[in-house]
Amino acid sequence: MTTNVYSTLHMSIEDGVARIVLDNPPVNVLDATMMRELRTLLTTLADDSTVRVIVFSSADPEFFLAHVDMRIGEKMDVLQELAASTPADVNVFQAVGELIRHQPQVTIVKLAGKARGGGAEFVAAADMAFAATETAGIGQIEALMGIIPGGGGTQYLRDRVGRNRALEVVLTADLFDAEAAASYGWINRALPADQLDEYVDRIARNIAALPDGVIEAAKRSLPADDFKEGLLRENDAWASQISQPAAQQLISGGLQSGAQTPAGERDLEELMRSATRQ
């Protein structure tokens, strides 16, 4: 079964595996519309007992999810709609990651391209992530915008890589290649690009074919950690920075210099560092 009722997502379901393709050109930003569609689709899938595994991939070979839309404030109507249905203890960005972390299905990211900022948070929210050695990259770019991760990234990172490496990731704002990310525990493993599809497909099909109750028992025994207090701290810290003139100037300068275009996103770190030097 294939579903194309969403503007930024495509889904097919076969043998208990739902494959969700993220498709929001030109660089797959995580915008307000995609957030709304992800929340709708994942909430629907949570009630579908025939789906056992969800695999996320991208329609863009270069960008899994570039980052949260730097113009997201222009979609205030959608943001307000999302906020109205968001639990009181998380913000609209954190709600996406928390929904992924608490899905009853096993969630897997197939990372062939780059995932920065909110895209990196999305990857870390999934149960598993596998990346292409030659082409994948992951990083928390926010510090170069004058802010910190605000979609769960600080908590997910510390859980996966430890406090010292989480601080390194956040404060250097570097793009990490797949092998480095795997060595840190940020993702499960790096694989040659020509083996990534086959490997993830095999993992997804094998898990989906397990006897009834095994997935539920495993996820019940290994529950997603409760980050309630940490997410509140993160939101407070993020909100204190996003309102600063410096952050607004850096984000605006980044957009003027080519952020959210394919050319600008290929080396967004250098683009944003140039903005900080101006």
pLDDT band at 277; cut points 50, 70, 90 = confident
Q: Which residue has the higher pLDDT, 200 or 81?
A: 200
Helix (H, G, I), strand (E, B) or coil at 14: strand
- Residue closest to 179 by CA, chosen among 138, 110, 133: 133
Distance in angstroms (rounded) separating the CA atoms of residues 158 and 146: 20
CATH number corresponding to 9-212+222-276: 3.90.226.10
Query: Which whole number is the average pLDDT over 264-270?
Result: 97
> Quick one: pLDDT at residue 79?
86
182-227 pLDDT, tens digit per residue, is 999 999 999 999 999 999 999 999 999 999 999 999 999 999 999 9
- Write down the domain spans for the chain: 9-212+222-276
Torsion of CA 98, 101, 103, 104, to 10 degrees: -140
> What does the block give as tokens for 140?
């928390």
Instruction: Inform me whether the pLDDT recorded for 2 exceeds 60.
Output: no
State pTM to two decimals: 0.96
Order across the sheet with 114-116: list the strands: 63-65, 114-116, 137-139, 176-177
Q: Using CB atoms within 10 A of its CB, is residue 211 exposed (0-12), middle (13-18) or buried (19+)?
A: exposed
Amino acid at residue number 204: A
91-136 pLDDT, tens digit per residue, is 999 999 999 999 999 999 999 999 999 999 999 999 999 999 999 9
